[in-house]
Structure 1
Amino acid sequence: MRLPLRPLALAAVLAALPGLACATGLLQAWQAAWQHDRELAVARADHARAQPLRDQAAALWRPGVALTAAAGVATGETDMRGAQFSAPGFGRSTGVDFGTSVTGGTATRWALQASQPLYNPQRRAQQRQLGLQAEMAELQWQAQRQQAMLRTAQRYLALAVAQEALRVQDQQLAAVRQAFGEAQERFDIGDAPVTDVHEARARLAALQAQRLAAQTERDLQRQALADTTGLPSSSLAARLPRPGMDTPPQALAQPLEAWQREADGANPAIRLQALAVQAARAEAERHGRAASPSIDLVAQAGQDRLRGSGDYGSARSGGTQALVGVQLTVPLYTGGWRSAKEEESLRLQDKAQAQEDSLREQVAAQVHAAWLGLSLGAERVQALQQALQASEARLDATHTGREAGDRTLLDWLNAQSDTAAARLALAQARSALLLDGLRLALLAGQQGEDALRQADQMLALP
């Protein structure tokens, strides 16, 4: 008489319950990552430069005031010949020679200058560049934030799949360990061949090795999520997408072309590169011939003094200058630097444009892949659900056939292994489907928090 295979050990089922009881939600993981993620901290610090860039752009057309002052030891010599001299009571004299001499005297000098740009194409291009750089900093922050969301979701779901793999291994290990004990018991009473014992022992050893690998993978994925969120790794437990939520709502409501148009206009990376093209164009304008002249409203005042003694005894001299007017500056010759710089800037503009075109193609391909992942992934999940049901039915039939003597222990072990593989494949497909939905929303430039909140609602209840 063959002994029936008993149900799985209760401990193997209960082992998964503590993780579910204190499972961390995806939204909760993101809220922790928002405060702790190191790459996001770098992006946040970079984003802080946006306002200073705007302030620099605004300051370019404001007046500038500069004060210079100097004091020191100086020597001054003047020699004038053939001058004309006149003074009250002395009449007028021509052919007069005179000179001044101060050696090692005390010199002081100060100058105050204020200027207001009136016409300066180079400064206007620089102002445009600074404004574009501020916008690029904002878009870079948006792109990095979305990448952090996707990275957190990927690590979260990777942990959920790793947990499921370990749970499936534990269930399978418990069932095979029980089957090994029963095979040994049957062999001892002469009701089963020794091959059943060897087959069960070999499968048990293989599962024990697989279980160690699954535990290692779970621990690694848990630590990766802990590094992102800053939460204690020992308390982290993730949830898989729950059955019945295999297609993100409204994800496939619009065709692929609509998603690609939306991504082409709203994707942060594309918008960032488009701004880079405009910044390169502004750099080329800065060095163009038309940008070289400038007109400024200037006001200047200054004074120079020198006091000491020299060849003619004690002497002192001084002068005061003041000016209010308009100043024209036209660079006449720069040794070819300006034209070379303009040529370099034009080539960099071509490079930025080519990068934008390439990026648009890449994003379109990524949108296509994510959309296909959703449309075909949902069908794949349904197929895997049917495969799991068929595997479970096969396992039950093999169990019954073994009790009746129509199936061997090896048949049952193979059916058990196939069922476990189907269960794990279904979990992986559901996680991939959820990630594709989130990835598609982020590629299209949609609000990341809304997409993440929607994904969190699709997870299994704690």
Structure 2
Amino acid sequence: MSTVDVNPIPPSTRSAQRRMRLICLNVALAWVAPAGAEALDLARAYEAARLNDPTFRAAIAALDAGREEKILGRAQLLPSIAATYTTNRNTTRSTQGQVTASTEATQTSTATSTSTITNDRLQTASAFTGPLSGQPRESQRRVTDSDAATQTDSTGHSTVDETEIETNKFRDTTTALQLRQPLINFGAMAGYRQGKALSAASEARFRSQQQELMVRVAEVYAGALFAEESRRLALTQLVTLNEQQTTNERMLSSGEGTQTDVLETRAKRALAEAQLIEAEDALLVARNRLIAMTGVRATSFAPLKTDIVTTSTLASTPEDWHGLAMTQNGLLEALRYQVEAAHQEVNKAESGHYPRLDLVASVRRENFRSNVNPISNTTTSVGDSSSTSTTTGSTSSVSTGSAPLLNESSNSNFTTTSNSAATSSSRFNAEQNLATRRRTTNHVVGVELNVPLFSGGAVSARTRQVAARLIQAQAEMDARVDEVLLELNRQLRLQQSTTLRVQALEQAVESGRIAVDATIKSTAAGVRTNLDVLNARERLVTAERELADARYAHLLAFLRLRFNAGVLTEDDLMQLAGR
């Protein structure tokens, strides 16, 4: 056997390299297994995912929200009761203007008196007699706390008198209670049916999402197991190649081997190291996915039971599986309810053309309280000594009309001529603060008819819009049915094919082990070469990896088939976990 003339690597260097690689390998394995982690099986992973998986928690929230749709729809048919309470404080001030004609003497006296009585309190009298004529004055003038707006034109024949005559402060309180019961409301009936359909759709969708969670957990868990198996096979192959390289180097140093055998083994070993690094990365990713779904950090995973019975008594032919999917698949059932909800939305939109009849009963109570400060209806006179001295030698007086005047507190400069001053004072005080209180209660029971006549075309446009969305919902349901049936056929075929594939790969693994032993013996006898041994071991590792992949694919096909048919249960998952 010929040899290749190359410089072999010194044994000391090779030993150092082997030690370094083993140290790196141990460090990598320690880094992959996180601290504080624990063992995990499929059943426990599923229970943890129900609590931690964000997608499933969102599905639970959607279910809770969907269940309220039925209650919201029913509320449109039940009576509504509303209570209102209103309170207000109001202040009203009234003013009055008057144009009067008077004599020249009176005008002069009025001007003089106006400048004197501004912001003075009025004193009332039951009657007033002029000091000169001895007869009651017929012309009267209203005077308030504000400036008396008495104006005289250039000829002295008319006056304008603008006076505040009343201040009214009042408070009103209103309490009302109303009950409204729909009697005829086609839109409310359609809304109730729509709410029932939407609640049923949320229930069916959640059932599908719960089954989907089982499949997702099984997929992630099987992925972690396969990554762990791949790393184990890569590590086994690397250890075997290390032993093979040691043997080849020893044989080369003793003159029995060749440099070619050493180089071939070294190349295979380097490739195995790369495969090990790739397997470790895949395992880390798989573990992180499982941690994200379950929230559990695990160092090891319990194996799945691969010898389960995957045949079903529920269906045996593709047609039977199709029938199960059409009746049991939660997603298809949810879509059917969605179509029903869209149909009720059309009915609700069309109800905008129909009349509505409601029973209405109400109780309304009003409380009213006011405080009025009116001006006395009696005559008011003004006396002023300075006015008397500046007029025609007689004391003139101005008497106002009978309209009520405002009384407010100020320093009085008025003199009152009356037959009885005590009598006029008591009447003034009685009218000083007038208070009014009124309470009203109103009971109403009746019916209210609402007949829509014209809404600008909004009802017709809304009806056309929801009718188009109904067609859209039906088309989407048909598309989803096709997808489910296609996936069902694929998983059914995959389950059947993986069964045969597993059987074939089991034979391949068994044959590969025998072939490796035979090749080693043939190499020792000089019939086979070192490369034949390396290739036989590589084929064995590949067959073992494919066998593990086929077993997990067979189990997942079993779960996906039952999921698409809508008959997947937790018992199926526990069967895979070996419980």
Give the drift of 1:144: 1.7
Deviations 1:105-158 (A, max 9, x none): 433333221111111111111111222222122222212211111110000100
CA contact (8 A) 1:241 1:431 kept: no
Q: Paired residue for 1:142?
A: 207
**RMSD after superposition:** 2.9
Q: Paired residue for 2:250?
A: 185
Distance in 1 separating the partners of 2:361 and 2:42: 63
Q: How does 1:38-437 map to 2 (within 5 A)?
A: 38-73=54-89, 105-233=170-298, 235-242=299-306, 244-245=307-308, 248-250=310-312, 254-289=316-351, 292-304=354-366, 307=370, 320-437=441-558
Matched, 1:450 2:571: yes
Q: Does the residue aligned with 2:40 lie in a helix, a strand or coil?
A: coil
Pair 1:416–1:251, CA change in 2 (3 A): farther
Deviations 1:218-276 (A, max 9, x none): 1211221122222223x33241444x44x513279611110111011110110111111
- What letter matches 1:72 in structure 2? N
Give the drift of 1:103: 6.5
Unaligned segments of structure 1, at least 5 residues: 2-10, 78-100
CA contact (8 A) 1:381 1:429 kept: yes
Distance in 2 separating the partners of 1:58 and 1:175: 73
Deviations 1:305-357 (A, max 9, x none): 66465998778887654321221111212111111111111111111111110
- What letter matches 1:287 in structure 2? A
* TM-score, L = length of structure 1: 0.83
Q: Paired residue for 2:418?
A: none
Pair 1:300–1:369, CA change in 2 (3 A): same
Deviations 1:359-416 (A, max 9, x none): 1000001100110011111111112222222322222221111111111111111111
Q: Paired residue for 2:110?
A: none
- What letter matches 1:273 in structure 2? L
Distance in 2 separating the partners of 1:116 and 1:229: 50
Give the drift of 1:441: 0.9
Distance in 1 separating the partners of 2:272 and 2:304: 23
Pair 1:232–1:342, CA change in 2 (3 A): same
Deviations 1:186-227 (A, max 9, x none): 000111110111111111111111111111111211221122
Give the drift of 1:48: 2.2
Distance in 2 separating the partners of 1:276 and 1:54: 14
Distance in 2 separating the partners of 1:141 and 1:274: 14
Distance in 2 separating the partners of 1:74 and 1:320: 21
CA contact (8 A) 2:73 2:188 kept: no
* TM-score, L = length of structure 2: 0.67
Distance in 2 separating the partners of 1:127 and 1:222: 47
- What letter matches 2:518 in structure 1? A
Deviations 1:140-178 (A, max 9, x none): 221221111111000010011111111111111111110
Give the drift of 1:181: 0.2
Pair 1:57–1:318, CA change in 2 (3 A): same
- What letter matches 1:322 in structure 2? H
Give the drift of 1:57: 3.4
Q: Among the aligned pairs, what percent are the same residue?
A: 30
Q: Does the residue aligned with 1:446 lie in a helix, a strand or coil?
A: coil
Alignment length (residue pairs): 416
Give the drift of 1:33: 1.7
Q: Paired residue for 1:91?
A: none
Q: Which stretch shifts more, 361-370 or 42-51?
A: 42-51
Give the drift of 1:302: 2.1
Give the drift of 1:437: 0.4
Return the index of the structure with the highest Cα Rg: 2
Q: Which stretch shifts more, 368-377 or 293-302?
A: 293-302
Q: Paired residue for 1:34?
A: 50
Q: Which has the higher helix share?
A: 1
Q: Paired residue for 2:99?
A: none
Distance in 2 separating the partners of 1:66 and 1:291: 27
- What letter matches 2:497 in structure 1? L
- What letter matches 2:575 in structure 1? Q
Distance in 2 separating the partners of 1:280 and 1:310: 67
CA contact (8 A) 2:353 2:452 kept: no
CA contact (8 A) 2:73 2:193 kept: yes
Distance in 2 separating the partners of 1:116 and 1:435: 56
Give the drift of 1:46: 2.3
CA contact (8 A) 2:221 2:290 kept: yes
Q: Paired residue for 1:88?
A: none
Distance in 2 separating the partners of 1:113 and 1:252: 58
Distance in 2 separating the partners of 1:291 and 1:412: 87
Q: Does the residue aligned with 1:323 lie in a helix, a strand or coil?
A: strand
Distance in 2 separating the partners of 1:399 and 1:318: 114
- What letter matches 1:227 in structure 2? A
Give the drift of 1:446: 1.1
Pair 1:401–1:252, CA change in 2 (3 A): farther
- What letter matches 2:290 in structure 1? L
Pair 1:451–1:291, CA change in 2 (3 A): farther
CA contact (8 A) 1:37 1:227 kept: yes
CA contact (8 A) 1:401 1:407 kept: yes
CA contact (8 A) 1:120 1:291 kept: no
- What letter matches 1:57 in structure 2? G
Q: Does the residue aligned with 2:301 lie in a helix, a strand or coil?
A: coil
Distance in 2 separating the partners of 1:337 and 1:134: 28
Distance in 2 separating the partners of 1:220 and 1:74: 75
Distance in 1 separating the partners of 2:315 and 2:244: 49
Pair 1:282–1:291, CA change in 2 (3 A): farther
Pair 1:308–1:334, CA change in 2 (3 A): farther
